[in-house]
Structure 1
Amino acid sequence: MDFEQMMLNDRAYQYFRIYSTLISMRAGVYSINDVAQRVDLPYPKAYKLTQGLVDELALIDPKADSLIADNGSLDTTNLTVDLNTLRYHLISNQLPYQAIYYLITEDEPSIDDFCKRYETSRATVFRKIKPLNDQLHNFGLHFTFSHMNIVGDERKTILFLFCIFRLATEGVIWPFGEHLQAVALEVRDQFMTRIQVPSEWENSDVFPLILAIASLRMRQGNYVEDDERYEILIDNNENYDPRLLDSELISQRHYPDLTNDRKQAMLHFGYQLLNILPVFRKVDRYLQTTLDYCYSRNNIVWQFATEFLNYMQEKSFRMPNRLVLDKVLVGNVINVALTGYVFDGVMPTLSIIANSERNILTGGYDYADLYHEIGTYIDNLPEKYADFHGDREQMVQSLYYLLLPIYTEYKKEYHIRVGLMVPGDSMLYRRYLDLYSGFNYIDIEPYDATDFADYDLIFTSSISFYLDVKNHADKRVCYFHQGSAESEISPLLTAREYYLKKFPTLPQIGAIY
């Protein structure tokens, strides 16, 4: 069950499927039967659902041109509602989202008040939020209903709620009131003047959304507990400011029973998020600070990262480039290790809650070698790692995800072989060789007829060659028209689709955002 199925009833889910299909098609006029076939629905049902979809779009933008043309066909040339807007509109009007929103925004949430407000019954609430409750159980959390709440490790509750709102809004819609948004942005800006934060947080909604959710939970009297394992993040850390939360903005929020110990626990959790939420993508100042700090302390996560990468270098990466010299990779392995060290059990992530396969463009699937080698290492950790209580599968999958792109670039058997046939001079050939050579998983070479059977794909601008092969029902040949940018790019999209079918990737990548 994916996120949309979990949050929408069947009718709303079909609205979403139909509209996402229409958005993905070239703008034009289509019959309802065309769309019915694409979404695999019988015509009568597709017809009724399309009528309902039009009503939903009118609620969002009453002035928009109707999706249904006068002749009964579907005209997508003037669509004004983007998919994210419709998606959030549908999700926010469904009971699972309403229950979560009510639970976090009301001062005294109760099941009786919720049922009265939304004119529903307890039985209906329990039935419709069951998929959400099942997700909570994955993380050792659960709902309570007399006083509506999520109980368990409060850190996981905050991350779970972050994932729900992040997935619902796709980061383009602010789900709470304008005042809370203004406060969250101001707090973020104050924090960034006093401590280093990941560069991607500077203009992202991640930081304000986390702050808003934590603030709403604290207003209800829900606080994280401190943990001695946080010492690994703050011991002589120049980026640690013990008085960061001592600001007028925070004191004005009037959190109930906010003792100094609770404030310190929240501060420590915040520092934990600085090294769990980001997935490093480039070498920036914050990554370098993280590496310098862990190296200078020679702490347990630094030892894990370097020992693990040296082990994998010997077992699976027999290449001259040393894994431990890749700063981005080391930083991300440190984050995985911190998650396993500071959290017990499974940590909520976007990919687990979305239940989606996030294919990696540069990643193949070598279950027998790479995945099992990582699993073997985790299953035989030395005694000094006995305090790592994170979920074994989550750690293995996260490490697998980090190493997979490097591994498949290094292992030629996880590339696809492409022959390039371009009639013309060498300069023209070079132009297309440069265009198609920018992908680590494609090995492209001049077409040779003697190797015809060995190619995974053949890219060609020769219409005669293409038609000749097509007549023999060989689907490996991709034709492109020289001078048409859209046509020239199409072989790469075909190659991507072919590659992901040949080497399907592991689902549930352990990324938080």
Structure 2
Amino acid sequence: MLYEELMMDSGMLTKFKLFKRITQINQSDISITQLSEELSLNYQQTFIIVNEINNDLVKVISSHPSILKKAGKIDSTKLLVTIDEYRYFLLKKSVPFQFILYFLNYDSPNIDDFCQRYYVSRSTVSRKMLPLKKHVKQYNLRFTYTEANLSGDERAVRVALFDTLWLGTRGTAWPFKSVAREDAERLAGAFSEYFPLSRTYLGAKELTYFAAIFLCRTRKKIYVCYDDKYDFLMMDNPYYDFERLNKELGPIQALPAKYSKGESSFIFFLAHYAPFYTLDDDPSLFQTLQDFSARPNPVYELVQEFLDYAKINIFKKEPDVLNKPIIIGNLLNITFAFFVLRQPFPNLQKLVELPRKKKKAGELLEARIQTFFDEKAKEKEYKFIYTIKKPLVNAFKSVLLPAYDKPKHSEHLNVGIAFEHNFLLVRRIYQFLNDLGFVDSAPYQEELNEQYDLVISSSLLPRKKYPELPLYFWDLSYDEEELADLYRTLQQLFEKKNIINE
């Protein structure tokens, strides 16, 4: 389920979708009729919502000009409010978002106080929290109301809180009333070397949000415990500095040794809980490869066994792809997180990506990864895989799919070329199609009509004779722009041909 669907009620969600569509079109004369048809609303509904949006814009920016025009038109070129700003504006009125901010920012939070502050009934809170409650339940988390909170494995709680607050603001606002931004930035900076996030623009902002949530929770004396499953990575490893946290917090805010160890280990765990590596020269990537390989441990051994298997059964023609440090490092991080938590845990990707139709290349890759983990789960040391096999397979697939040569593992397009019989005329189109990697092309033959996905022809004669023939007219005096149009057509046909109809 997408983030906005979890956090917004139906009316708010419709308004957000309409605003998003207006920003996407970016024209000075958008028809309200067109919008109503696209979003399956009647004209009157759309007109009312557009007027509400127009009024909202002034609440976000007091000098915002009207986007409404005469004759049922909208001028979206006048928009000054971004999609992120408008999302946050709406979420500040959303009960689930309000509730999370409430128990993070206030002392002794409870449901009665929340209802009084936000003028809602307990039944309304319960009803509007249902989608989010169902979502976090899959991570063994639950909302509590007598003492307002999100409870469960505190590591998963904090990641879930980060996902909620980051996606709600995208860094455009500071939603932490109980934590000064400077405090969070200082803490994030003290541990930035451990995090690949710190080396990218938005990643550095994300890390500050993690730090703010860390401070919100520890100041309420809600702590993370040390996990013995970290031992092989962190014990007696000078890279993981367990003294740094209290030095940074200072003598007044320093944590007792018991809690300092657990919280420090959580910070180091966070550096490995997701496939963060995107840069080949990232120092933390090479540190990860070194640390995981330094001592015998089930995480490194499992990843190495998988890579050996994949080189033979998945990447047989291109095994060197699996020697790339980025791939190994990301697989180590994924495996480490599942090895430690042994349950599904919050995933930012699931909240922002639309469910995609399965494609044959991805299905084949997934099946082969599944076969490996089915066998490993039978071994005593890896029994924990049973409970997290599906998300583990999906995570491995996500890392490997970009490296998996799609055209080699997909059904190619069968394309016929009906051009004048002259090498100088056809050589460029054949070269273009060959370079795509997913097209098999040959001179057009009438007896093969049923087999063609597309016929590219410099004449419309084949269509006159065979009206159902999928024909793409190609003027021999084409330019580069027409090549781009042809590419889009071929790409769409290729995607359609390789989608699995369930």
Fold conserved (TM > 0.5)?
Answer: yes
**What is the distance in 2 between the residues matched to 1:422 and 1:171?**
55
Corresponding residue number in structure 1 for 2:337 = 339
Contact 1:29-1:77 within 8 A present in 2 as well: no
**What is the distance in 2 between the residues matched to 1:163 and 1:301?**
26
**For residues 125-136 of structure 1, what are the structure 2 equivalents within 5 Å?**
125-136=125-136
Q: Which amino acid aligns with 1:318?
A: K
Contact 2:303-2:332 within 8 A present in 1 as well: yes
Q: Which amino acid aligns with 1:272?
A: F
Corresponding residue number in structure 1 for 2:3 = 3
Q: What's the secondary structure of 1:246's corresponding residue?
A: helix
From the two aligned structures, give the one with the greater helix fraction: 2
**What is the distance in 2 between the residues matched to 1:34 and 1:165?**
33
1:272 Cα offset (Å): 1.0
Contact 2:32-2:74 within 8 A present in 1 as well: yes
* Higher alpha-carbon deviation: 210-219 or 342-351: 342-351
**What is the distance in 2 between the residues matched to 1:135 and 1:210?**
21
Aligned length: 495
Corresponding residue number in structure 1 for 2:222 = 222
Of 258, 263, 266, the residue aligned with 1:266 is 263
Q: What's the secondary structure of 1:33's corresponding residue?
A: helix
Q: What's the secondary structure of 1:224's corresponding residue?
A: coil
**What is the distance in 2 between the residues matched to 1:448 and 1:199?**
51
Are 2:444 and 1:449 equivalent residues in the alignment? yes
Q: What's the secondary structure of 2:69's corresponding residue?
A: coil
Call closer, same or farther: CA 1:200–1:179 in 2, change over 3 Å: closer
Contact 2:418-2:444 within 8 A present in 1 as well: no
1:315 Cα offset (Å): 3.1
Corresponding residue number in structure 1 for 2:117 = 117
Q: What's the secondary structure of 2:164's corresponding residue?
A: helix
Q: Which amino acid aligns with 1:96?
A: P
1:156 Cα offset (Å): 0.8
**For residues 405-484 of structure 1, what are the structure 2 equivalents within 5 Å?**
405-409=402-406, 411-416=408-413, 442-444=437-439, 448-450=443-445, 454=451, 456=453, 472=467, 477=472
**What is the distance in 2 between the residues matched to 1:327 and 1:496?**
31
- CA root-mean-square deviation: 3.8
Q: Which amino acid aligns with 1:254?
A: Q
Corresponding residue number in structure 2 for 1:510 = none
1:225 Cα offset (Å): 1.2
Of 394, 399, 405, the residue aligned with 2:396 is 399
1:8 Cα offset (Å): 1.1
1:396 Cα offset (Å): 1.7
Q: Which amino acid aligns with 2:15?
A: Y
Are 2:103 and 1:103 equivalent residues in the alignment? yes
1:200 Cα offset (Å): 5.3
Of 357, 380, 385, the residue aligned with 2:382 is 385
Contact 1:144-1:151 within 8 A present in 2 as well: yes
Corresponding residue number in structure 2 for 1:170 = 170
**What is the distance in 2 between the residues matched to 1:303 and 1:179?**
41
**For residues 66-465 of structure 1, what are the structure 2 equivalents within 5 Å?**
66-176=66-176, 180-192=180-192, 195-198=193-196, 201-203=199-201, 204=203, 205-248=205-248, 250-251=249-250, 254=253, 258-284=255-281, 285-322=283-320, 324-354=322-352, 356-357=354-355, 364-366=362-364, 369-370=367-368, 372-380=370-378, 382-386=379-383, 391-409=388-406, 411-416=408-413, 442-444=437-439, 448-450=443-445, 454=451, 456=453
**What is the distance in 1 between the residues matched to 2:166 and 2:288?**
26
Call closer, same or farther: CA 1:241–1:493 in 2, change over 3 Å: farther
1:374 Cα offset (Å): 4.2
Q: What's the secondary structure of 2:438's corresponding residue?
A: strand
Call closer, same or farther: CA 1:44–1:332 in 2, change over 3 Å: same
**What is the distance in 2 between the residues matched to 1:490 and 1:178?**
54
1:24 Cα offset (Å): 2.4
**What is the distance in 1 between the residues matched to 2:100 and 2:216?**
12
1:29 Cα offset (Å): 1.3
Call closer, same or farther: CA 1:431–1:176 in 2, change over 3 Å: farther
1:294 Cα offset (Å): 1.6
**What is the distance in 2 between the residues matched to 1:163 and 1:309?**
31
Q: Which amino acid aligns with 1:341?
A: F
TM-score by length of 2: 0.85
Q: Which amino acid aligns with 2:129?
A: I
Q: Which amino acid aligns with 1:307?
A: E
Q: Which amino acid aligns with 1:225?
A: C
* Higher alpha-carbon deviation: 215-224 or 400-409: 400-409
Call closer, same or farther: CA 1:16–1:443 in 2, change over 3 Å: same
Contact 1:340-1:390 within 8 A present in 2 as well: no
Q: Percent of aligned pairs with the same residue?
A: 24
Per-residue CA shift, 1:210-265, capped at 9, x if unaligned? 111111111111111111111122134342112110224x137737xx32111110
Contact 1:301-1:337 within 8 A present in 2 as well: yes
Report the structure number with the largest CA radius of gyration.
2
**What is the distance in 1 between the residues matched to 2:371 and 2:83?**
41
Report 1 or 2 for greater relative contact order, CA contacts < 8 Å, sequence distance ≥ 6.
1
Per-residue CA shift, 1:449-487, capped at 9, x if unaligned? 247765545789x6x669969x946667498996676x7
Call closer, same or farther: CA 1:199–1:419 in 2, change over 3 Å: farther
TM-score by length of 1: 0.83
Q: What's the secondary structure of 1:64's corresponding residue?
A: coil
1:366 Cα offset (Å): 2.8
Q: What's the secondary structure of 2:403's corresponding residue?
A: helix
Contact 2:194-2:268 within 8 A present in 1 as well: no
Q: Which amino acid aligns with 1:153?
A: D
**What is the distance in 2 between the residues matched to 1:432 and 1:238?**
59
Call closer, same or farther: CA 1:395–1:278 in 2, change over 3 Å: closer
Q: Mark the runs of 5 or more structure 1 residues left unpaired by the alignment.
A: 507-513
Q: Which amino acid aligns with 1:166?
A: W
Q: What's the secondary structure of 1:143's corresponding residue?
A: strand
* Higher alpha-carbon deviation: 391-400 or 302-311: 391-400
**What is the distance in 1 between the residues matched to 2:200 and 2:176?**
20
Per-residue CA shift, 1:121-143, capped at 9, x if unaligned? 11111111121111221111111
Q: Which amino acid aligns with 2:32?
A: I
Corresponding residue number in structure 2 for 1:511 = none
Q: What's the secondary structure of 1:245's corresponding residue?
A: helix
Call closer, same or farther: CA 1:59–1:378 in 2, change over 3 Å: farther
Per-residue CA shift, 1:257-276, capped at 9, x if unaligned? x3211111011111111111
